[in-house]
Amino acid sequence: MNIGFDAKRAFQNRTGLGNYSRTLIRSLGEYYPQNNYFLFAPKEKPLFQLPAGMQTILPQKAHHRWLKSVWRSRWVINDLVSNEIDLYHGLSAELPFGITNSGVQSVVTIHDLIFERYPEQYNPIDVYTYRKKAQYACKHADKVIAISEQTKRDLIEYYHTPENRIKVCYQSCDPSFEKQCTKEEINSMLAAYQLPSSYFLYVGSVIERKNLLGIAKAMRLLKGKLDIPLVVLGDGDKYKDEVKAFLQKEGMAAQLIWLNEVAKFSFKDLPALYQGALALVYPSIFEGFGIPILEALWSRTPVITSDVSCFQETAGDAALYINPYLPATIAEAMERLAIDRTFAAGMQEKGLQHAQQFTLDKCAAAVMQVYQS
């Protein structure tokens, strides 16, 4: 097959959608080299090194280069046809308008419909744009990939997408998390970012839905009893200011270490950051999948996460579940993992076992089955 990808985020996005795109493209190329893969992107950037044997298709005509967003959303169809693409995969909830008339089969991945559940947390223009693109893609794609059963249920509820056109294909994560770091590597990372030897970890955007303030309130309950800091890898604006104001008021400003304010963090150090942590604390209210949970499981890092949304799909029996609306439950979980090291070690083993359900080959095989169907 000649398989094309919407590769914009593979080249330009450093977080969730970009990581999903890069990991899947690499995996398909490795496990199914008999196919030809074409990456359609407005521009190439060094963030993604193209796997051997794959080809990038960039806008060629002058007006395509000037209006890259229009090329990606409409004019790219002519390039799909001229390159004899059999199947085009929209990796981030959108397909080019008019693809149904091109003769090219299509698949779209929908990661979540959080903007439908919590529209008040988004700019209204963004909600309108996301909705228009996602609704079109779900209506016109030959198959829709949902990254969790939670997202599948949301597609049926919000967009009335027929269940028989949706396939749940779980995602994997970068294989670098599988490698066990040495003590020397972890200590070197700690020294490079001036981090303490004992810390909890939060990974993700600092936005209301991800509930960093809930962790801060849990730490207030532990104040004087368990004063272990929280390292935050992520950024935000208004909600971050709210968290900082709470910490300042409670005399706890030093208890949160904002890693992006300490130094420019390098992705290559992320496995060591996970492995040096007592636990990942991830009390989000809602996600499509929760990729930091999977990164932590592969890193043999205990996970504290919410008992709502998709999290039991991602973490199975390998996490310590809390009520994200009750900081006392977060505090109890943090205290238990910090004090009971035997229990923590057991969670590390459970986590690694559960992560085997999300290997690169299994995730690539699930997507390839969708293509072949």
189 and 144 fall within a common domain: no
First-last CA distance in the chain: 12
Q: How far apart are CA 339 and CA 226, in angstroms?
A: 9
Q: How many domains does the chain have?
A: 2
162 and 277 fall within a common domain: no
Percent of the chain whose predicted confidence (pLDDT) is above 90: 89
Which stretches of the chain are assigned E, i.e. beta strand? Answer: 2-6, 36-40, 55-57, 87-90, 105-110, 143-146, 166-168, 200-203, 230-233, 256-258, 280-282, 303-306, 319-322
Domain final residue, candidates 137, 169, 201: 169
Kindly tell me if the per-residue pLDDT of 309 is higher than 90. no
126 and 194 fall within a common domain: no
Q: What integer is the mean pLDDT of 188-208?
A: 96
How far is CA 130 from each of CA 12, 83, 115, 133, 287, rounded to the nearest angstrom?
18, 28, 8, 5, 16
User: What is the residue-averaged pLDDT of the chain?
Assistant: 94
CATH of the domain at 320: 3.40.50.2000
254 and 275 fall within a common domain: yes
* Residue 253 counted as domain residue: yes
Confidence of residue 13 (pLDDT cuts 50, 70, 90): confident
How far is CA 181 from each of CA 53, 195, 218, 273, 278, rounded to the nearest angstrom?
31, 17, 30, 10, 15
Query: What pLDDT sits at residue 14?
Result: 79
Query: What pLDDT sits at residue 47?
Result: 87
205 and 267 fall within a common domain: yes
* Residue 82 identity: S
Question: 322 near 209, Cβ under 8 Å?
Answer: no
Kindly tell me if the per-residue pLDDT of 16 is higher than 90. no
Question: 273 near 231, Cβ under 8 Å?
Answer: yes
Sorted by sequence, the CB contacts under 8 Å of residue 94 that are 6+ apart come out as 6, 73, 108, 133, 134, 136, 137
96 and 183 fall within a common domain: no
Q: How far apart are CA 319 and CA 317, in angstroms?
A: 6
pLDDT, one tens digit per residue, over 43-92 is 999 889 888 889 999 999 999 999 999 999 999 999 999 999 999 999 99
Supply the Cα-derived Rg of the chain in whole angstroms. Answer: 21
Domain final residue, candidates 169, 198, 217: 169
* Residue 367 counted as domain residue: no
* Residue 365 counted as domain residue: no
Which of 8-17, 191-200, 231-240 has the least mean pLDDT? 8-17
For 1-14, give one letter per residue: b (16+ CB within 10 A) or e. eebbbbbbbbbbbe
Kindly tell me if the per-residue pLDDT of 263 is higher than 90. no
Q: Give the structural domain span for 294.
A: 175-357
Query: What pLDDT sits at residue 71?
Result: 94
Confidence of residue 308 (pLDDT cuts 50, 70, 90): confident
Percent of the chain whose predicted confidence (pLDDT) is above 70: 100
Q: What integer is the mean pLDDT of 245-270?
A: 93
Phi, psi of 254 (to 5 degrees): -75, -10
Question: 143 near 107, Cβ under 8 Å?
Answer: yes
pLDDT, one tens digit per residue, over 104-129 is 999 999 999 999 999 988 899 999 99
Kindly tell me if the per-residue pLDDT of 343 is higher than 90. yes
DSSP-based three-state secondary structure for 133 = helix
Kindly tell me if the per-residue pLDDT of 275 is higher than 90. yes
225 and 314 fall within a common domain: yes
51 and 160 fall within a common domain: yes
Max Cα–Cα distance, the chain, nearest Å: 67
Q: How far apart are CA 100 and CA 82, in angstroms?
A: 16
Confidence of residue 311 (pLDDT cuts 50, 70, 90): very high
Tokens (6 digits) for 297: 């499981």
Sorted by sequence, the CB contacts under 8 Å of residue 21 that are 6+ apart come out as 5, 7, 9, 10, 13, 91, 92
For 74-105, give one letter per residue: b (16+ CB within 10 A) or e. ebbbebbeeeebebbbbbbbbbbbebeebebb
215 and 157 fall within a common domain: no
Task: State the Cα torsion 161-291-283-206 to the nearest 10°.
Answer: -100
* Residue 218 counted as domain residue: yes
159 and 184 fall within a common domain: no
* Residue 224 counted as domain residue: yes
* Residue 366 counted as domain residue: no
Question: 247 near 255, Cβ under 8 Å?
Answer: yes
Name the DSSP class of 254. Answer: G
Phi, psi of 359 (to 5 degrees): -70, 160
Residue 224 CB coordination number (10 Å):
5
Query: What pLDDT sits at residue 339?
Result: 95
* Residue 364 counted as domain residue: no
Residue 66 CB coordination number (10 Å):
10
Rounded to the nearest 10 degrees, what angle do helices 16-31 and 291-298 cross at? 60
Domain final residue, candidates 169, 196, 211: 169
* Residue 368 counted as domain residue: no
202 and 334 fall within a common domain: yes
pLDDT, one tens digit per residue, over 25-56 is 999 999 999 999 999 999 999 889 888 889 99
pLDDT, one tens digit per residue, over 140-189 is 999 999 999 999 999 999 999 999 999 999 999 888 999 999 999 999 99
CA 303 to chain centre: 16
Q: What integer is the mean pLDDT of 222-237?
A: 94
